[in-house]
Structure 1
Amino acid sequence: MARAGSCGGDAAGAGQPEPWELSLEEVLKAYEQPLNEEQAWAVCFQGCRGLRGSPGRRLRDTGDLLLRGDGSVGAREPEAAEPATMVVPLASSEAQLHR
């Protein structure tokens, strides 16, 4: 699994320290490719470990999942005005299955 700041590109910015944590969204954009199966399982495992102290916690998208420099995974703190439930539109293939 990639560690924060290890993407080697301009993610940290010139002359600035490497970030302590990056969202999964930022990592995926930097690598411009999906995770392989091993990386996906590692994110799932570390994510479950990191979120076990917050039962019922929901993540909206890949921007809410934080990959830290030490290899641990956590979640971005929810905003106060954020709704408690999440609505995910069905993909076209899923919508066809439900018909």
Structure 2
Amino acid sequence: MKTVDHIVAYPIIIKYVADNSGYPYLVTIPDLNNSMTEGKSVENAIAMAKDYIGTTSLVEELPKSNYTLPKANKGETVTLIRVNVSEYKRKNDIIS
């Protein structure tokens, strides 16, 4: 019998902050207590947010999202990302 994968979706906020770190795209995940990560590009920042959510799912139960996109402030991009938690756990040898 095939099981149904656990898939979550969370809004994220991406903001470009010029600095010398090489990771100028800051990502905030409001539904995870405003947790933050960063990326080298917008695409990398999205991938890092997905990885952050997946990693969090390995150590704690993820909260439900209200799927409400926050209002974007100047210089911010707001989007909804999808993470297949079951797939993430399989790739990291964790049974879900």
Range class of TM-score, shorter chain: under 0.3
Larger RCO of the pair (alpha carbons < 8 Å, separation 6+): 2
The answer to which structure has the higher strand fraction is 2
Bigger Rg over Cα: 1
Q: TM-score, normalised by structure 1?
A: 0.24
Q: TM-score, normalised by structure 2?
A: 0.24
